[in-house]
Amino acid sequence: MSYQTGLSGLSASSSDLDVIGNNIANANTVGFKSGTAEFADMYANSVATAVSQQIGIGTKLAEVQQQFSQGTINTTNQALNVAVNGNGFFQMSNNGTLTYSRNGVFQLDKNGFITNAQGLDLMGYAANSSGIINTAQTVPLTVPTANIAPKATTSITAGLNLNAQDNLMLGAPTATAGAGNTGTLNTTGATITNAAAGTNTDKYTINFTSPTTYTVTDNTLGTTTASQNYTAGTAITLGNGESITFSGTPAATDTYTITQNPTTFNQSSSSTYNYSTSTTVYDTLGGSQTVNMYFAKTGSGTWNVYAGPSTGTAKLIGTANFNSSGTLVSTTDATTGLATATLGAFTMSIPTTDGSGTPQNVTLNMAGTTQYGGKDGVNSLSTDGFAAGQLTSFTVGSDGTLTGNYSNGETAALGQIVLANFSNENGLVDLGNNEYGQTAASGVAQISTPGSTNHGVLQGGAVENSNVDLTSELVNLITAQRNYQANAQTIKTQQAVDQTLINL
């Protein structure tokens, strides 16, 4: 036993106490990784000493090993608090010198850069004004405060249901006496008895074959009824949706022609259309105006489509035709009278007055529209444009994407946080402030996006707590204290032995 052995034990125990004390002190440090003191024994070198007779000369601190186990994740709801769940370190830049950290408490500096408490810049992939991320190299991440540019509306997508049982937009039919009529026949005109009947669009001719008999010819279908008896004041049925009543006595060969009377569209009168809806469109400067759309049923499965700005005049832009299953089967352009290039796609021109690009051509796409029995209504209605918007908030996704939320309801990628992995995490040098530096022992940083390969994922609005287990550390503290006391006792014993020798 020697003083050197005891002193080495005291030194080792003191180092152990330092490590444990450091762990306890950082029990509440975000992202802190606890350390463990590892020791090795020492032997004196002597060529003449037999192997079986070697006596140790104490111990030494071999290394302080960091424990990179996962700390618990605590939700903070702070946008720029980010926790790593799994492997990886945030890459930080100190004026170009790269360091690595698990502390995800960040804030914005006066220039919009994302930094930590020490002012180091958080590194990641930048995004351009279109939200496309450039993964070629890492750069200090910023949160741009400029408005997101507006996008002009070029398309309105409408998924509607037009009620198959809606009334046709037709007025009372017109009754015209034949030029050669000689009887005393008179009528106040034809009457619509079923406003939704498809035959209301047909043209009819009533042929009197005698003063008491007549036939009805449907000129649209080319059919004629059998001879029927005429009685003044009794209604004569036309198709299944109209009737006409005569007074007086007809002469043989007298005729009456009944023709349809389409309702003239008037956007100010809801009696001239069956259904209307509206949406907001934006021009190249982000200016907005409301576009109204009107739908008027003109036949069985046939609808006129009108559209225009709310401050202007709506115009007929085309017709839509549905089959007996309620499916849109054809659309016709009002300008050319030909089928639209794309089913359900009508083109309209919207004037602008604020200096933006004009005229603004917009496509109304109603390919998903149906004609079923039931209420008229909107199933879906959207446009592809938006006004300029200001950044209101941002979030961090699990893959590190920093997404900005704007006042116009749009979102855009502002950048992407990256993570760095190392082949040997314990080869990193501890720089303080929860920062680590790369060394030859750690290997080069393996940069990638969170969630890829063996890189962990991120959780925004949260931080990773210290992985220090206080219970274990307090037990270790007692053990280290006893070790220190025991080594001190060896020195005391050696001192007693020396005193005995002196007293001989």
Position 52 scores a pLDDT of 63
Q: Which CATH superfamily is domain 155-166+264-383 in?
A: Flagellar hook protein FlgE (2.60.98.20)
Strand partners, 86: none
Biggest distance spanned by C-alpha atoms of the chain = 166
d(CA 102, CA 431): 13
d(CA 382, CA 207): 53
SS (H, E, C) 72-124: CEEECCCCCEEEEECCCEEEEEECCEEEEECCCECEECCCCEEECCCCCEEEE
CA atoms within 13 A on the CB side of 203: 8
**Which one-letter DSSP state was computed for residue 227?**
P
User: How would you label 204-217 residue by residue, b for 16+ Cβ within 10 Å and e otherwise?
Assistant: bbbbbeebeebebb
Tell me the whole-structure pTM to 2 decimals. Answer: 0.71
Q: Are 158 and 345 in contact (CB under 8 A)?
A: no
Give the pairing of strands 315-322 and 328-333: antiparallel
Tokens of 362: 């917009």
The residue type of 13 is S
Distance of CA 270 to CAs 127, 160, 193, 264, 306, Å? 49, 18, 21, 11, 13
Position 46 scores a pLDDT of 54
Distance of CA 8 to CAs 41, 105, 116, Å? 10, 41, 40
Distance of CA 410 to CAs 77, 125, 287, 288, Å? 21, 21, 16, 16
d(CA 155, CA 152): 9
**How confident is the prediction along the chain (504 residues), in pLDDT tens digits per residue?**
577 777 877 888 888 888 999 989 999 999 999 988 888 877 766 555 555 666 777 788 888 888 999 999 999 989 899 999 999 999 999 999 999 999 999 999 999 999 999 999 999 999 988 889 999 999 999 998 888 889 999 999 999 999 999 999 999 999 999 999 999 999 999 999 999 999 999 999 999 999 999 999 999 999 999 999 999 999 999 988 999 999 999 999 999 999 999 999 999 999 999 999 999 999 999 999 999 999 999 999 999 999 999 999 999 999 999 999 999 999 999 999 999 999 999 999 988 888 888 789 999 999 999 999 999 999 999 999 999 999 999 899 999 999 999 998 889 999 999 999 999 999 999 998 989 999 999 999 999 999 998 999 999 999 999 999 999 989 988 988 888 888 888 888 777 887 887 887
- Domain residue ranges in the chain: 3-69+467-502, 73-149+391-464, 155-166+264-383, 174-259
